[in-house]
Structure 1
Amino acid sequence: MIVLFLIAGFLASIIGALPLGASNIAVINTTIKHGKSNALKIIITAGVAEVILSYYALSYNMTVMDFFESNQWIQVLVALTLLLIGGMLFFKKTKTSKAKHKTQPSAKSNYIKGFFLGLLNPPVLVYWLIVFGILNTNELMLSLKSPWLEVVLFFIGVYFGKFLTLYLFSTFSLVVKRKFSNVNSVINRFTGSLLFFVGIVQVVKLYLL
């Protein structure tokens, strides 16, 4: 029975990480431009950020939910930012360069990027609030007062669910890189389209649902 908390955290984290967000896009771009080893550093700290967000949602679920409901400008700002960045990437022109060597980002910068992109993500926080709401209406009741092993197993599942999903995104990026010669242009248009789509979805959820 106790293993179900590990499985629940793992599956919930995978479902939450599948829609393309800032961490996913950073992993895709970094894998294509700088290799899988650099993307792995982003993945490691993005997993840590996911655990922190889910822990915060578990600790202050009602307070956080009330905050987002009374401050919808945050969600509007996120949606507009996604639309703006998506449009800029889609129409960005790829410059050709004769230089053969690309500047590799430092390991520290990738760790920091993964952590902050994973942490500064209000929709993910809302997602975890919903997850805990669903769990607590079923048999898998979870709170900070639950047995410590149940809580620890759940958050271990959260970490590895996020890690695995982002790792699969990185692997998929390498497949894309092999198939397209002008990969930078392709990834900019692909990323821009997805960001724009996510932004539109956020607007629809705010004003039509």
Structure 2
Amino acid sequence: MTSLLLYFLLGIISAIIGALPLGAVNLAVIRATTTQTILNAFYIILTAGVGEILLATLALYYNIELSHFFTQHPWVQGSFIFTFFFIGIYLLFIKNKINTKNYPKLHTSKLITGFSLATLNPPVAIYWILAISWIDKYIFELTPHTSFVSLLLFFFGIYLGKTTTLYCYGLWGHKIAQQKNSKTKLSRILGVALIILSIFQGIKFIAE
């Protein structure tokens, strides 16, 4: 019983650590709470949790294959780093100077948005490859041969940790939305955060 609880708690902790850095899903949740409602953000959060489980499952069962893929195709991770950097530049210097009132708004399903942003995310996939390998090596067995109940609790912990962290981001975005000039302030905060994150990831990427 104790070991099963450890699998569950480790799933929660691992997901929280992976979800804390600002990323595409976090950004989508914050923007949903500031420009729409917290309910819209909740739709993103629910399916982002499912996407996180999918990435963790792929990392568990195809650890070696995924490692080779990202090693042989470094442009995949590099493209995401450049994307985050240019989004940060846009949010910090350009967005608030453009009048977007007359531009048509694209309406996409929040459920699809949450799932796609969570799964099409190479840095998160790499994180789960490293996290699962580290857990298996230093804490306890975490392989495809681990008992079904243990894996089920581990993945449920991942879902809970991911959705809880994103919900906290949503609450933060909702709090910012209630302040004066909230949209301008939020764009600048997110812009700076994304630029710093992309620079840090870029240095790490080059060093590897």
What TM-score results when the alignment is normalised by the length of structure 1?
0.91
Query: More deviation in 193-202 or 122-131?
Result: 193-202
- Cα shift at 1:84: 1.1
> Equivalents in 2 of 1:131, 1:97: separation in Å?
41
Which amino acid in the other structure matches residue 134 of structure 1?
Answer: W
2:17 is matched with: 15
1:87 is matched with: 89
Listed one character per residue, the Cα deviations across residues 131-180 of structure 1 (whole Å, up to 9, x for unaligned) are 111111124211122110001000000000000000011111122222x3
1:144 is matched with: 144
1:114 is matched with: 114
> Equivalents in 2 of 1:37, 1:104: separation in Å?
18
Listed one character per residue, the Cα deviations across residues 19-71 of structure 1 (whole Å, up to 9, x for unaligned) are 00000010001001101111000000000000000000001001111111121
Q: For 1:136, what is the secondary structure of its paired residue? A: helix
> Equivalents in 1 of 2:30, 2:106: separation in Å?
15
What TM-score results when the alignment is normalised by the length of structure 2?
0.91
How many pairs align?
203
Q: For 1:15, what is the secondary structure of its paired residue? A: helix
Q: For 1:137, what is the secondary structure of its paired residue? A: helix
1:191 is matched with: 190
Q: For 1:132, what is the secondary structure of its paired residue? A: helix
Distance 1:31 1:105, change over 3 A: farther
Which amino acid in the other structure matches residue 135 of structure 1?
Answer: I
Contact 1:94 1:185 in 2 (8 A): no
Which amino acid in the other structure matches residue 194 of structure 2?
Answer: L
1:24 is matched with: 26
> Equivalents in 2 of 1:208, 1:96: separation in Å?
40
Contact 1:27 1:42 in 2 (8 A): yes
1:162 is matched with: 162
Deviation beyond 6 Å, 4+ runs, structure 1: 96-99
Contact 1:75 1:202 in 2 (8 A): no
Listed one character per residue, the Cα deviations across residues 96-141 of structure 1 (whole Å, up to 9, x for unaligned) are 7999xxx8956xx111110101111100000001111111112421
Q: For 2:138, what is the secondary structure of its paired residue? A: coil
Which amino acid in the other structure matches residue 111 of structure 2?
Answer: Y
Q: For 1:159, what is the secondary structure of its paired residue? A: helix
Give the fraction of aligned pairs with identical amino acids, expressed as a percent. Answer: 35
1:203 matched to 2:199? The reply is: no
> Equivalents in 2 of 1:98, 1:133: separation in Å?
48
